[in-house]
Structure 1
C-alpha cells in the first residue's frame, strides 16, 4: 500500500476546474466496467468485445480526479475541457517524490510502490471531505494498493 501526498493549493485548482458545471466528466479506464455509468445500467461492448467508452453517459459519471501512474504519479482533472499546464498540455499535480522532472528516482519509486501504469478515478468528493474535516490541511493524501483506494485524513 502506498500513501501519495499532493500539495493542497494545486489540488484546489484542479478541484475548482472539475466542479465547474460547464465541464463534462470523462471516464478513465477503471470506469469502463461500471454498469451504472451506461444508459441502461449494462456495460456496452464494442466490436472487439471490450467496454465501449463512447457509450458511457457523462451525466452518470461522478466528478473526479484522474490519478495517473506513468513515468511519475499525478492527478489531473477528469473532465473533457483541459486546464492548461505550464510545462505540459494539461495542468497536473505530481505526488510528493513522484515528479520525473524533479525527482531522480520518480519512475523507480512509482514502479516499486504502484506497479504498472494505470489511470483510476479519485472522487472529487474526497477533497471536499478533507476540507470539511481538516480546513487547515496542507496536503491531500490518498492511500492506494492494487485492490483499494481511500482518502487519508
Structure 2
C-alpha cells in the first residue's frame, strides 16, 4: 500500500477547472463519468483536470498540475525512486471521478488530500 499526499492549495484550481469544464467521454481509453481528475505517473506523479479545453499554465508551456509531495522532479532529488515505489515503473494515467468530493474536503479546510494505492486500486483516503 502507498499513500500519495497533495496540497489542497495546489489542487483547488485544478478541481475548480474540472467542475466548470466539459468532460471528454474518454481519457486514454478510460470512461469518464463526470467531473474528473487524472492521476498521472511519468515525470513525477501528479493530478490534472481532464476538462476541455485543457487547463494550461499562464505561460502556455504545459498543463497546470498538482504534484504529490516528494514526487516532483523540479524539487525532489529522489522523485524517480519515489514514483517507482508508489505509482510503479510504467508511465500511465488513471481517471478519478472525485472532483466534487475533493472540493468538499477543501471547503472543510483540509490542508492535504491523500490517495491510497492498494494492489492497483485507488481510493480517496481520509
* Shorter-normalised TM range: 0.7 to 0.9
Gaps of at least 5 residues in structure 2 are none
Q: After the TM superposition, which of the residue ranges 119-128 and 84-93 deviates more from structure 2?
A: 84-93
1:13 matched to 2:19? The reply is no
Displacement over 2 Å in runs of 4+: 26-30, 128-132
Equivalences for residues 87-106 of structure 1 within 5 A: 88-106=61-79
- 1:57 aligns with none
Q: CA RMSD in A?
A: 2.0
1: CA distance, partners of 2:54 / 2:78 = 28
1: CA distance, partners of 2:118 / 2:91 = 13
* DSSP-derived class of the 1:143 partner: strand
Please report the TM-score for the alignment, with normalisation by the length of structure 1.
0.71
Please report the TM-score for the alignment, with normalisation by the length of structure 2.
0.85
- 1:128 aligns with 103
Between Structure 1 and Structure 2, whose CA radius of gyration is higher? 1
1:81 matched to 2:56? The reply is no
Of 38, 41, 54, the residue aligned with 1:66 is 38
Judge conservation of contact 1:4–1:95 (CA < 8 Å) in 2: yes
Cα 1:29–1:82 shift into 2, 3 Å: closer
2: CA distance, partners of 1:30 / 1:144 = 20
Of 103, 108, 126, the residue aligned with 2:81 is 108
1: CA distance, partners of 2:65 / 2:19 = 16
Q: After the TM superposition, which of the residue ranges 108-117 and 91-100 deviates more from structure 2?
A: 108-117
Cα 1:112–1:12 shift into 2, 3 Å: same
Judge conservation of contact 2:38–2:94 (CA < 8 Å) in 1: yes
Cα 1:62–1:71 shift into 2, 3 Å: same
